[in-house]
Structures are given as C-alpha cells and as structure tokens.
Amino acid sequence: MPDAGSPSVARRGARTALLAIALAWAAVSACGSDWTPAELMRLLALGQARSAHFEERRFLSVVDAPLESSGELSFVPPAHLEKHTLRPKDERLTLDGDDLVLQRAGRRPLHMNLSERPEAAAFVESIRGTLAGDLATLERLYSLELTGSAERWRLALVPRDAGMAQILARVRFSGVQGAVERIEFEFANGDRSEMTVTPVAAQ
C-alpha cells in the first residue's frame, strides 16, 4: 500500500483537487448561463404601470456644449409610452400603439403613424420594446448583446436594417434586475445622447 507521503499519492491528491475545482467552476458557469436576453425580458415584463424622472444630455457635433433636458417618463404596458420634457422647454411625446404625437408649446401637434415610418418605429421600439420586455419585437429589429448579470446588466441593440443603421449605430441600456437606469443612443454621424432614469416610487 503506497505511503500517504509518497509522490504518487501526492499526485493523485493534486489531481483530485484540480478535478473538484473544475467541477465547481463548471457549476458556476452553468448557473451563469441562465442569464440571457429572454431572462432579462422576463424581469422587465414583470413591471406594471411605471413612471420615472429623466435627465438627458445630448452631444451634437454642431454645438460646443451638451444640450441638457429633464422631465418625466411614463410607460403603461404594453404599448403606451410618454416622454414629457419639462426643462428647458415644455414638450410632450406620446406613443400609443402605432400613433405618435409630438406636442410643443405654441405649436400645432405633430401626428405620425409608425406603420408608415419604419425608421421612426424602430427608434421608439428600442425603448418601448425594452420596457415591455418584448423580446420578439427587439430581435426582429435589432441584434442583441447582453453582458453582466441580473444584479448589474448592460444590453446593446444594433439595428438589423441597413437603412436604419445609417441613422442609428446602437442603443445601450443598463440597469439592475427589472429596472432600467440608463439609456444611451449612439448615432451614425457621431452624435449621441445619455439619459439617466430614476423611478418614481408608487404612491
């Protein structure tokens, strides 16, 4: 019987330890593999009517300093989305189904049907589809890349349509669990916008 201190026993012990580490790593990896776009969408879809404050900074090549705005976002699943800008000027963008309405103080409302404007539809669906957890719509319009975990995730959307890609390079969302905290738009011409989102506690 080999001595417990012999080299052969030591080698077998080392191999056993390495095997245990490898199995533990495989178990961790298997658990992590559950974090997919479908799982993120499931968490996002759990939310009911939502409202939040937003602060947005737009970086445009034609101006030296970022343009800043703030206001309120509201979303009522599955299809009602509203962005109400309060500063620097009052402006309300309302999306209900395929009907998009832009209202500005002192101007007549601008109406648009998204079924007739696929580029505009793809743009707004990046937000509405994500908030609704609508994976089918997002995958139809974008290639999805999800990183991180449920505790801190980041989702990038890249347009599938070549025409849309000439306008919008990508959209990035980041958040925690089923809450979106940040939305970034990167445009093909180099312009970009950054929006931070702070949920309003339910009354």
Higher pLDDT among residues 16 and 131, named by residue: 131
From the options 2.50.20.10, 1.10.150.130, 3.40.50.300, 3.20.20.80, give the CATH code of 37-199.
2.50.20.10
Binning pLDDT at 50, 70 and 90, where does residue 105 land? confident
Q: How many CB atoms lie within 10 A of CB 4?
A: 8
Binning pLDDT at 50, 70 and 90, where does residue 21 land? very low
pLDDT of residue 49: 65
DSSP string across 46-76: T--SEEEEEEEEEE-TTSSS-EEEEEEEEEE
**Is the dihedral angle over the CA atoms 101, 196, 177, 141 positive or is it negative?**
positive
Give the closest residue to 193 by CA, choosing from 60, 91, 63.
60
Tokens 């089923």, residue?
A: 178
* pLDDT more than 70, % of the chain: 81
The rounded distance, in Å, linking the Cα atoms of 40 and 85 is 28
> pTM to 2 decimals?
0.80
Q: What is the pLDDT of residues 147-166, one digit of tens each?
A: 999 999 999 999 999 999 99
Binning pLDDT at 50, 70 and 90, where does residue 24 land? very low
pLDDT of residue 7: 55
Q: What is the pLDDT of residues 27-47, one digit of tens each?
A: 433 344 579 999 999 999 987
Is 6 a residue whose pLDDT tops 50?
yes
pLDDT average, residue stretch 105-116: 92
The rounded distance, in Å, linking the Cα atoms of 47 and 116 is 30
Helix axes 118-132, 37-45, angle to 10 degrees: 80
pLDDT of residue 192: 97
Q: What is the pLDDT of residues 128-151, one digit of tens each?
A: 999 999 999 999 999 999 999 999
Tokens 């001595």, residue?
A: 3
Amino acid at 2: P
Domain residue spans in the chain? 1-33, 37-199
pLDDT of residue 34: 79
**DSSP classification of residue 70:** E
Binning pLDDT at 50, 70 and 90, where does residue 11 land? low
pLDDT of residue 78: 86
Mean pLDDT computed over every residue of the chain: 86
